[in-house]
Amino acid sequence: MQAVLQHSPSSEVSSERRKNASAKRTGFLLLSPSVLLLLVWSIVPLVMTLWYSVQNYNLVDPTLHGFAGIDNYWYLLTDPDFLHSLLNTFVLVAGVLAISVGGGTLLAVLYDQDFFGRGIARIMVISPFFIMPTVSALLWKNLMLHPIYGVYSAMMRAVGLTPIDWLARFPLLTVMMIVAWEWLPFAVLILLTAVQSLDGEQREAARMDGADPIARFRYIILPHLSRAISVVVMIETIYLLTVFAEISVTTAGGPGVASTNLAYLIYSRALLQFDVGGASAGGVIAIIIANIVAIFLVRAVARNLEA
């Protein structure tokens, strides 16, 4: 750095370019390890997936190989299961987002109130976030919702109702509830933090202006939460698009494809039917969809994330 000192004083204009260039270079050097790794991580498997997706490649049938063209895609896109799983993916993401953001906002306001044992109650509410998806799926499937031994079934019997086999009757809805149980606490955690950072004077000013609790929520708290809500939507969408363990443990995508999302469909193609080509074509489509979602989502929340 000091060597720069020795340069001739005449180079007036270039000095800025040089200094800017040095700052730029430092910035680039610091950023590049992460960027390069993510570039490799996102490009190499993508290219490989693209390659497999146009091949006939089945692990159990080695006689079948060679260039498949768009056969894998054609086969997949004309498969009614595919459209169904696409719809399921969307319903799952949208449903869980609605529950966790809506419920999370209300609960954040609730647990912002002062009441006896609030600290403990808060910890209980956010606990499900720490539970691994496999475990929570097992818990709900067996201990809670089992049609014979489940606690919920026992409670229904106790009030004279017939227990429902939730996972058989409403598979997608039940999976959605289980996933929402895991992600609602995350939303509460983030949104509660945001509610608490709301300036006390602002709230008091609103009270002096005669705003009732509903008006205060609508005009003071909700706008203040917009950034935190973006954060929740952003992070949760990332994870919800790829929900896998909950489905695999509870319904295995069934009955039929009633609770199969795109992630699970590709998984079942690849690892249950050993159809690498078909699974790869599904992967490519999943990536395209993810990118479309990403573009919309990132655009929508980017402004909030930047500020």
In whole angstroms, give the CA distance from residue 60 to residue 277.
Answer: 12
Q: Give the integer Cα–Cα distance in Å for 137 and 124.
A: 18
User: Residue 240 is encoded by which pair of tokens?
Assistant: 């919800």
**Residue 148 binds to another protein (criterion: CB under 8 A):** yes
Answer yes or no whether residue 9 interacts with another protein by CB under 8 A: yes
Name the token pair of 112. Answer: 């912002």
Q: Minimum Å distance from CB 203 to another protein?
A: 16
- Residue closer to another protein by CB (options 77, 151) is 151
Q: Residue 119 and residue 134: Cα distance in Å, rounded?
A: 28
- Of residues 278-297, which lie at the interface with another protein (CB under 8 A)? 279-280, 282-284, 286-287, 290-291, 293-295, 297
Which residues, 6+ apart, have CB-to-CB distance to 162 below 8 Å?
156
Q: How far is the CB of 72 from another protein (least distance, A)?
A: 12
Whats the size of the chain, residue-wise?
307
202-261: which residues touch another protein (CB under 8 A)?
Answer: 227-228, 231, 234-235, 237-238, 241-242, 244-245, 249
- End-to-end distance of the chain based on CA atoms, in angstroms? 34
User: Which of 206/287 has CB closer to another protein?
Assistant: 287
Nearer to another protein, 172 or 301 (CB): 301
Binding mask 257-276 for another protein (x = CB under 8 A): -----xxx-xx--xx----x
Calculate the CA 241 to chain-centre distance: 5
Q: How far apart are CA 141 and CA 152, in angstroms?
A: 11
Which residues, 86 to 145, sit near another protein by CB under 8 A? 107, 110-111, 113, 115-118, 120-136, 138-140, 142-144
